[in-house]
Amino acid sequence: MTERKRIIVGVAGGIAAYKAATVVRQLTEAGHSVRVVPTESALRFIGAATFEALSGNPVRAGVFEDVHEVPHVRIGQSADLVVVAPATADLLARAVAGRADDLLTATLLTARCPVLFAPAMHTEMWLHPATVDNVATLRRRGSIVMEPASGRLTGADTGAGRLPEAEEISTLAHLLLDRGDALPYDLAGVKVLVTAGGTREPIDPVRFIGNRSSGKQGFAMARVMAQRGAEVTLIAGNTAGLIDPAGVDVVHVGSAAQLRDAVSKHAPDVNVLVMAAAVADFRPAHLATNKIKKGPDAAGDPTIELVRNDDVLAGAVRARTDGQLPNMKAIVGFAAETGDANGDVLFHARAKLKRKGCDLLVVNAVGDNRAFEVDHNDGWLLSADGTEAAMEHGSKTLIASRIVDAIAAFLRTSDG
């Protein structure tokens, strides 16, 4: 059970204000005490009653209500986290200027906890130098400003500026609560390629060989790295219907060969490669062009001959050694291990780190419903320099943030 925390959800006045209701519901359902602080303009889009019913707490926008309780100071002081969703261009500007002309901006001034802004506005406003500067200032001051999603905006136009999905906002909110500190914005200018999910090796037009990877850990890696400022391309195999992370370029692939080709295409441009995908080691030697039929008796049952797929991770390490990836500074592999008669999980993982030649290896023990398809994980982080660290059990987003801490530290030492 999650520890009950005090979360303030600020809601600014944009059409996406109605989506804040889902964020509030997700945070209250996780067991937290949520207080909603809308701006006056937010209340023109969605009624206070909705937020009162969802949060179970009174909803005020001004500083002259409940004055004896000094809410303009107390709400911010006592919060464990402030989430502003949606954060409009105007709200970001007022936050930067340190205004306190309503309860939400006063709360932002008095909060000493992590503050997360989920922007939503028209593309022109998001790209305007004023907003760009405001976002940079807020990030420099330690606030977390999410990248907005791209897609359909109000009216017929499309572009960057959509509020990230409620689930992305609450996932990030939980990460900040779990970490207890803000996420550093320390990967600006770093280009990252992440692979995630499982590959599917076609047998015939309707069948394939797949695996149990859900893509959750890899998606969490992409999301956290983008949040920390990296320019992220995510090569996604099959996943359990995950939402494309906001602010990330997503390339969807099917088979191991397609994933390999996508990695070969993007690897020369990037500084970091994170191979979280579960890449099939084998594929059917022949792809049947027609559906394989079940004959009248077992005598005609097919045998599927398998051939080996390329090892994408080992291939990237080789390419770097051969000087073909001069921009590549860190290559991170993942290992799902069960242990066997020859040795335990770590024994096999250490051998795999050497065999693959990557800089960091994230190790998960699998089996007994661990690692695959679930939302939580744990494991170890092994470095090529021999350092080993255990990662405590936590959400896949928290684990991702610990792995990214290690990648960022690795980049700092390799730069310095």
* Binding site listing: 281, 291, 334, 352, 356
- Nearest-10 crossing angle of helices 166-179, 20-29: 40
Q: Does the footprint of ligand CTP cover residue 311 (CB under 6 A)?
A: yes
State yes or no: residue 333 binds ligand CTP (CB under 6 A).
yes
Task: Give the CA distances from residue 224 to residues 41, 73, 75, 311, in Å, rounded to whole numbers and listed in that order.
Answer: 31, 31, 28, 26
Q: Using CB under 6 A as the criterion, what x/- string covers residues 231-260 for binding ligand CTP?
A: -------------------------x----
Asked if 187 is part of the footprint of ligand CTP (rule: CB under 6 A), the reply reads no
| Active-site residue, selected from the candidate residues 134, 211, 271, 364 | 211
In terms of C-beta density within 10 A (0-12 exposed, 13-18 middle, 19 or more buried), how is residue 33 classed? middle
Q: How far is the CB of 310 from ligand CTP (least distance, A)?
A: 6
Cβ proximity to ligand CTP: between 173 and 332 the closer is 332
Residue type, 211: N
**Cβ(329)–Cβ(272) under 8 Å?**
yes
- Residue 320: what are its φ and ψ, rounded to 5°? -65, -45
Judged by CB under 6 A, which stretch of 8-16, 30-38, 284-292, 332-340 contacts ligand CTP? Answer: 332-340
Two tokens at 247? 């602010």
What is the per-residue binding string for ligand CTP in 277-306, x denoting contact by CB under 6 A? x-x-x-------------------------
Residue 24 near residue 51, CB atoms below 8 Å: yes
Among 12, 84, 96, 313, binds ligand CTP (CB under 6 A): 313
Kindly determine how many residues on this chain lie close enough to bind ligand CTP according to the rule CB under 6 A.
13
Instruction: Give the angle 251-252-257 at the CA atoms, nearest 5°.
Output: 100
364 is an active site residue: no
Minimal distance, residue 349 CB to ligand CTP, in Å: 9
For the CB of residue 279, give the shortest distance to ligand CTP in the complex, in Å.
4
Q: Is 325 in the site for ligand CTP (CB under 6 A)?
A: no
DSSP code at position 165? P
Query: Under the criterion CB under 6 A, does residue 363 sit at the interface with ligand CTP?
Result: no
What is the Cα gyration radius of the chain? 24
Angstrom distance (rounded) from CA 259 to CA 374: 23
* Of 195, 204, 200, residue with least CA distance to 212: 200
Residues assigned a catalytic role: 211
Rule CB under 6 A: which residues touch ligand CTP?
256, 275, 277, 279, 281, 309, 311-313, 333-336
